[in-house]
Amino acid sequence: MDQTCSVAELVRAARNGDQRSWNDLVDRFLPLVTRLTARFRLYGADAEDVNQTVWLRLVEHLDAIREPNAVPGWIATTTRHECLAVIRRRGKATPVDPLGDSSIDRLLEEEDPCEELLRDERHRALRAGLAELPEDRRALLLVLLEDPPPSYAEISRRLGMPVGSIGPTRARALDHLRSTEALNALLAAPAGAAEQRR
Amino acid sequence: MTSWTDDEALTRELREAVAAERAVTERSREAAYAAFSWRTVDEELDELLSLAHDSSVGDEVVVRSVTDTEPRLLSFEGGELALELEVVGDDLVGLVVPGRACRVTVRSAGGRSVSVDVADSGFFSVSGVPTGNVRFEVAVGSSQLATGWVLI
């Protein structure tokens, strides 16, 4: 994923008809759309329909959005709006709504749109940071993220790494991650970057 | 704020970050990439009719208890023309306002479409309406109009 272009640059290039910039925008914000959709307990065909609506609407509105930095917020708001519409319509089709009214209310109360955008920004920085690491360190961190985590003996066998060096290598890999360009860029411009995207 | 000095906290959020990317399906990605192709189609349009009303979308959060047979009402408006639609399942009845002879096409983002010739009265009905994300195109005289996308 190309993290070097700003959202505003991608939006401007997409307005000029550049499919690659559009695809970069999609790659950057698909995890946000997917995550929000899952928060509303929509999966499978429902989730794919909402996802498609969001991107079709963004194509429609691309020229109308005055501030390109507002696009992530626009995507989050549109996703939330369409998820609620699907849930309301489903209320017609199913005699018993699996997600009762009160839990939708609770979901909306719990949810802080700004926090979701900040979280998504941190996630993108972490994935970009992970991509910056050398292969062996990245591989070890990815294995350690598995659920349930494999035993050190299993990790040793899979990665060909002595059991005794797994702990220290993990510590070095996490330190390395903290010093990557992606994480430094995020920490150098905290909150403010996301703030202007709303 | 971000506190990644702690190895456990960093690992926890890294796990979420990786999981968020892995949760994205290829179908979602392909549909999102493909959405862009409508941009060139839209450039040929004379006008985009905007959604003025959708009975399934309200300001209230509460899920209304309504029956299966209650139609979904959709209104689209443009400068010269409005479109009133009632959708029940895959059946649709509609009215072009003001009434005039034209051709209405229901087109899905997936590429399916169904067209109907509309008489002077402006009334029309369509059965076998594609589901999913659709839009309604109106060809009147030499003008091509279309609504924004709606999920039905």
pLDDT in tens, B50-66: 899 988 776 544 444 45
Q: What is the pLDDT of residues A115-141, one digit of tens each?
A: 889 999 999 999 999 999 999 999 999
Nearest to A98, CA basis, from A55, A155, A40, A184? A40
**Cross-chain Cβ contact A92/B13 below 8 Å:** no
| Nearest-CA distance A77 → chain B (Å) | 14
Q: What ipTM describes this predicted complex?
A: 0.87
Lowest mean pLDDT among A8-17, A29-38, A85-94: A85-94
Contact between B136 and B85 under an 8 Å Cβ cutoff? The reply is yes
Q: Give the H or E element holding residue B123.
A: strand B123-127
Q: Is beta strand B143-147 parallel, antiparallel or unpaired with respect to B47-54?
A: parallel
**Mean pLDDT in chain A?**
86
Q: Chain A contact for B69, CB < 8 A?
A: no
B144, two tokens: 């091509």
Residue B19 has pLDDT above 80, yes or no: yes
pLDDT for B124 equals: 97
Contact between B75 and B83 under an 8 Å Cβ cutoff? The reply is yes
Residue A150 has pLDDT above 80, yes or no: yes
Task: Give whichever of A103-107, B5-9, B94-98 has the largest mean pLDDT.
Answer: B94-98
pLDDT for A16 equals: 94
pLDDT for A3 equals: 52
Burial-class residue B67 by CB neighbours within 10 Å (0-12, 13-18, 19+).
exposed
**Token pair 């970057």 is at which residue?**
A193
B148, two tokens: 């924004």
CB-facing half-sphere around the CA of B66: CA atoms within 13 A: 17
Among chain B residues, CA nearest to A178: B4
Among chain A residues, CA nearest to B22: A31
What is the average per-residue pLDDT within A134-153? 93
pLDDT for A149 equals: 87
Beta-carbon neighbour count of residue A92 at 10 Å?
18
**Mean pLDDT in chain B?**
89
Q: Does pTM top 0.80 for this prediction?
A: yes
Cα separation, B29 vs B22, in Å, equals: 12
Burial-class residue A44 by CB neighbours within 10 Å (0-12, 13-18, 19+).
exposed
What is the average per-residue pLDDT within B124-130? 95
**Cross-chain Cβ contact A91/B63 below 8 Å:** yes
**Cross-chain Cβ contact B38/A56 below 8 Å:** yes
Residue A93 has pLDDT above 70, yes or no: no
Angle subtended at Cα B26 by Cα B22 and Cα B29, rounded to the nearest 5 degrees: 100
SS3 state at B130? coil
Q: From chain B, pick out residues whose CB is under 8 angstroms from the CB of A177.
A: 10, 14
Residue B146 has pLDDT above 90, yes or no: yes
Q: Give the H or E element holding residue A20.
A: helix A19-39
Q: What is the pLDDT of residues A31-59, one digit of tens each?
A: 999 999 999 999 999 999 999 999 999 99
Confidence category of residue A194, pLDDT binned at 50, 70, 90: very low
Residue A96 has pLDDT above 70, yes or no: no
Confidence category of residue B145, pLDDT binned at 50, 70, 90: very high
Please give the residue that has the higher pLDDT: either A4 or A39.
A39
Confidence category of residue A25, pLDDT binned at 50, 70, 90: very high
